[in-house]
Amino acid sequence: MTRLALIAGQGALPAALIAALPDRPLICALDGFLPEMTPDITFRLERLVPFLNALSDQGVTEVAFAGAVQRPRLDPSLFDPGTAQLVPRLLGAMQAGDDATLREVIALFEEADLTVKGVADIAPALLPGPGMLAGAVTPRDEADAARAAAIVAALGAVDVGQGACVAQGLCLAVEALPGTDAMLIGLAGLPAALRPDPRLGRGLYFKAAKPGQDRRIDLPTIGTDTLRHAAAAGLGGVAIAAGSVVCLNLAEMQAEAARLGMFLWSRP
């Protein structure tokens, strides 16, 4: 018999994922990054091995990750002997970047005989397939999306970000450590003199998973707030890579895009 544990972080994704599941998972959370719901188990990274043992004691066979966490500051005094042996692996991965860290985390859970599941495995409806979800795109939008996709692929190859804003072929902003909202809020303050004439195309925000990313963890996620920030930044729409971006409450997003006069495109 399988039992799923959800390692839940902050934001709306954990609740959306739980709502899409037929049975409530065991909810676990990293101390300092508690989700909106009350977790069944709270753990610290310094005591990862006891946490993995606790999952086994609870009969957990599968684990999924959802929600935002940041790199915790490790307290050497809290390490148990088993986790202490993993420190060189963890620190080496953390120094190599987010993707390397996440791959190492997956490896540690798999070594504990836990199957790591992704959103596509347990709630595929959260990942829209290709098609126009709201509004319509112009040839200019299609060209901007292609340009943004190339930029995001280049950024992802060096583990920087998962999004970019492009208007009339010009890159207006790229996503880095502060995240999507910070990028779009910053773009809203960009002087008009630095932007192309919006009458010839307002541009778009494009988001996609990184090239080679393990899609079982840290998939890019957007919601209605993303649309509002994009509209405030003067953009004409949002495009995502089909099948690799989580949309939180797609029906609400479609309605909001229509209200804002924006397009929402799941790009093949």
The reported pLDDT for the residue numbered 255 is 98
Residues 182 and 115 in one domain: no
Q: Which domain holds residue 98?
A: 4-122
Tokens of 193: 């003199």
Alpha-carbon distance of 76 to 65, in angstroms, equals 25
The reported pLDDT for the residue numbered 163 is 97
Residues 142 and 81 in one domain: no
Of 99, 122, 145, at which residue does a domain stop? 122
CATH number of the CATH domain containing 90:
3.40.50.20
Alpha-carbon distance of 15 to 136, in angstroms, equals 30
Residues 56 and 171 in one domain: no
Of 59, 90, 122, at which residue does a domain stop? 122
The answer to whether 64 touches 120, Cβ cutoff 8 Å, is no
Alpha-carbon distance of 167 to 185, in angstroms, equals 16
Classify 18 as helix, strand or coil.
Answer: helix
Tally the domains of the chain. 2
Residue carrying the six token digits 């949309």:
247
The reported pLDDT for the residue numbered 12 is 93
Largest CA distance in the chain: 63
Residues 151 and 260 in one domain: yes
Residues 108 and 133 in one domain: no
Residue carrying the six token digits 């929600």:
67
Residues 98 and 157 in one domain: no
Residues 113 and 132 in one domain: no
Tokens of 209: 């998973």
DSSP state, residue 251: H
Residues 47 and 159 in one domain: no
Tell me the β-bridge partners of 163: 207
Of 122, 146, 172, at which residue does a domain stop? 122
Residues 77 and 174 in one domain: no
Residues in the chain with pLDDT < 50? none
Residues 168 and 113 in one domain: no
Residues 152 and 94 in one domain: no
Q: What is the pLDDT of residues 34-58, one digit of tens each?
A: 999 999 999 998 999 999 999 999 9
